[in-house]
Amino acid sequence: MSGAINIMRRELTGYFATPVAYVFLVIFLVMTGVFTFYLGNFYERGYADLDPFFRFHPWLYLFLVPAISMRLWAEERRSGTIELLFTLPLTTIDAVLGKFMAAWLFIGLALVLTIPMWLTVGYLGSPDNGVILAGYLGSWLMAGGFLAIGSCMSALTRNQVVAFILSVVVCFLFLLSGLPMVMNLFRGWAPQVILDGIAGLSFFKHFADISKGVIDIRDLVYFVLVIGFWLYANVVILELKKAE
């Protein structure tokens, strides 16, 4: 575990030593603002809640999280530091967890920086703070899911652009798996169990449930399982093709 924490510290140092962190944070804050106020009609709706804010998070993450995760392993491969990393007395699990935690905390920081939005709602009306807190939790968990997928895709290639595109595609499938356009592909030939399974994979549905303020253990377990599954796949891929 100390190995994972050391890796996490190194990664976080790396983020803030380059413009990556600042560019990401600024873009994230500007985009959440634009979505909330223009597309979400924050004022016009006349409700003191953050629904217009959270509603667009899945779409924002679809592109911004792969932008963070694409370099996680592809960059290590390209620069050859992967050889340095895996000849240190660390397990692959340490390395994967450390990198994941750093990126997840970083996205957490981006979310924390949107708290003025919460304060604004609080100033304008009297929102249900529990629902908003649940929204933040759900959003962060969903970001973790996207991130675990992105980290795994990044381990497949030394090319960051390829990693980005693969991540966006896989995240997109996960996001949309409950929507009719995906379900229609399976409907008619797949048995109901599989249809339910596919519908149950949707990030949308679980995120929507949590951000309504209903923290159901099943939704939490869902995100934890998604993260666990993709990080496990990440470890397996690295073990299989460390040196390629």
Partner 1 sequence: MIEARSLSKRYGGFTAVDDLSFTVEPGQVLGFLGPNGAGKSTTMKMLTGFLTPTSGHALINGIDVSENSVAACEHIGYLPEGAPSYGEMTVRQFLAFIARARLINSQDVAGKVDQAIDKLNLTAVAHQPIETLSKGFNRRVGLAQAIIHDPQILILDEPTDGLDPNQKHEVRHLIQDMAHDKIIVISTHILEEVEAVCNRVMIISDGKLLADDSPSGLISRSRYHNAVSMVVAGAEKVASVLSELPEVAKAELRDGELTMFPANENGLFEAITAAIASNQWQVSALRLEVGRLDEVFRSITTGESVL
Q: Note the residues at the interface with partner 1 (CB under 8 A).
A: 2-3, 6-7, 9-10, 13-14, 17-18, 79-81, 83-84, 86-91, 242-243
Nearer of residues 41 and 81 to partner 1, judged by Cβ = 81
Burial class (CB in 10 A: 0-12, 13-18, 19+), 65: buried
Residue 243, C-beta contacts closer than 8 angstroms, at least 6 positions apart: 83
Residue with smaller CB distance to partner 1, 9 or 187 = 9
Closest to partner 1 by CB, 121 vs 238, is: 238
What's the maximum distance between 2 C-alpha atoms anywhere in the chain? 58
For partner 1, the closer of residues 44 and 244 by Cβ is 244
Contact between 101 and 143 under an 8 Å Cβ cutoff? The reply is: no
Answer left, alpha or beta for residue 91, where phi above 0 means left and psi between -120 and 50 means alpha.
beta
Contacts of 125 (CB under 8 A, 6+ apart): 47, 48
